[in-house]
Amino acid sequence: MRCGEIIAVGSELLLGGRLDTNSLFLTERLGPVGVEVRFKSVVGDVEDDIVAAIRTAARRADVVVLTGGLGPTVDDRTRQAVARATGCPLSRRPEALEGMRRRLATWGRPPTAAQLRQALIPKGAEVLANPVGSAPGFRLSWKSCLIVALPGVPAEAEQMFFLAVAPELAAESAAHERIERRVLHTFGLPESDLDGKLQGVVRAGRGVRLGLLASPLGVTVTLTACGAHPGTPKAPKAGRNARESVLDRLTRIVRRRIGRYVYAEGAETMEEVVGRYLADQGLRLAVAESCTGGLIGHRLTQVPGSSTYLDRVAVCYSNQAKIELLGVPEDLMRQHGAVSAEVAAAMARGIRIRSHAGVGLSVTGIAGPGGGTVMKPVGLVYVGLDTGENDRSVTREFRFHGDRQAIKMRASQAALEMLRRWLVRTGARVRS
């Protein structure tokens, strides 16, 4: 297994103006092609600092991936830093220049003098074409280290990695050197409870690591194997086990232990799962949101094709909006308050009836940091679900913690999870 290091370049990553999402993406994708990320670093736009980071990384890693600093402005110093660190001088490369000219021409723009500097590539490096943007990347073998430089724009870095970097790394890695991982996403059980349920699943010496990562979206369970033929039994037994890897068997055990709390596997999101169930069952959904402010609708519409099952989303933030747009009775609001099971039920019923959708979903709560009371504290959220069955809604109460953003995210996840479980039950009834 080769050792990898990621260097994210950009002062904005140190000053709080931007998140380093490239490192997360690269860490996830390098393992399957035989590179275990052992180090990550973030460095500003100071050339001396970038040079020092490259030299340090090259001493301890086999593969170093830099992102950022390949643009046309004066603070883009990655090319110069790699040239200094390796002693490979910059030269204008025709293939880099031509690729950049073609890209700019499709945008109807001639290259500026500043943009022409992007064609300067360290001597001996292979130019990596940019299929999305104008800045080319490059790959350079130096001493015993492979240095890869990618743009900082996530969409550009991801495309270039998939097209020009991953295939080469995979070809250089023997099958027994690769990292294998299974990822299960859960919601509804705290991290400590999950840990208790999964005690003993992974035993010492099996070469598999169990990980738990909590977030407002729930707890992610990972099973990671690396080393000789990761996840493959040394002596396959007859029958079903002969066709399964250790990771596959452990994944089945984890699913068996935590069951209904698992909502997705791999890269699939809650909104994708819910959308798939809605589409499969031919149902249309209408959503009424208060404290989440349209977050549920935003998440659902991030999925391509969501127009086939999402009818409408109404953000009814004020009490008057709930009364006028959803038909929530004014007396009900006065008696129970906007944040109540009764109002959540009325909101779900109102949006379903007005939209003629098959199912109505609602959420109302107190996201904070103010507005809470002893009886109704910050983090109190009610979710309503109405399907027209027996002319009544189903509601659930939640008590979430965290800041305003975390509470809104948890509330949106809880609403989608409540819908998912109902869809699972209805789907099972249809199949039976």
Asked if the bond preceding 136 is cis, omega within 30° of 0, the reply is no
> What is the rounded CA–CA span in Å between residue 225 and residue 229?
9
Q: Which pLDDT value is given to residue 180?
A: 84
Strand ordering across the sheet containing 208-215:
208-215, 218-225, 180-186, 262-265
Fill in the DSSP letter of residue 226: -
Question: 316 and 322 in contact (C-beta within 8 Å)?
Answer: yes
pLDDT tens for the 432 residues of the chain, in order: 899 999 999 999 998 768 899 999 999 899 888 899 999 999 999 999 999 999 999 999 999 999 999 999 989 999 999 999 999 999 999 999 988 888 888 888 888 888 888 999 999 999 999 998 889 999 999 999 999 999 999 999 999 999 999 999 988 876 546 778 899 999 999 999 999 999 999 886 567 889 999 999 999 999 988 754 444 444 444 444 434 588 899 999 999 999 999 999 998 999 999 999 999 999 999 999 999 999 999 999 999 999 999 999 999 999 999 999 999 999 999 999 999 999 999 999 999 999 999 999 999 999 999 999 999 999 999 999 999 887 668 999 999 999 999 999 999 999 999 999 999 998 866 554
| Residue whose token pair is 């004066």 | 74
Q: Which pLDDT value is given to residue 430?
A: 55
Q: Which pLDDT value is given to residue 99?
A: 87
CATH number of 2-174: 3.40.980.10
Q: Is 325 exposed, middle or buried (0-12, 13-18, 19+ CB in 10 A)?
A: middle
Quote the distance between the C-alpha of residue 257 and its chain's center: 25
For 160-219, the pLDDT digits (tens) are: 999 999 999 988 876 546 778 899 999 999 999 999 999 999 886 567 889 999 999 999
Q: Which pLDDT value is given to residue 364?
A: 98
* Beta-bridge mates of residue 363: 289, 383
Alpha carbons within 13 angstroms on the beta-carbon side of residue 18 total 16
CATH, domain 270-431, list 3.90.950.20, 2.60.40.10, 3.90.226.10, 1.10.620.20: 3.90.950.20
* Run of H or E including 55: helix 47-60
* Run of H or E including 197: helix 191-197
> What is the rounded CA–CA span in Å between residue 285 and residue 299?
13
* Every domain of the chain and the residues it spans: 2-174, 179-265, 270-431
Q: Which pLDDT value is given to residue 292?
A: 98
CATH number of 179-265: 3.30.70.2860
Q: Is 316 exposed, middle or buried (0-12, 13-18, 19+ CB in 10 A)?
A: buried
* 49 three-state secondary structure: helix
> What is the rounded CA–CA span in Å between residue 24 and residue 30?
10
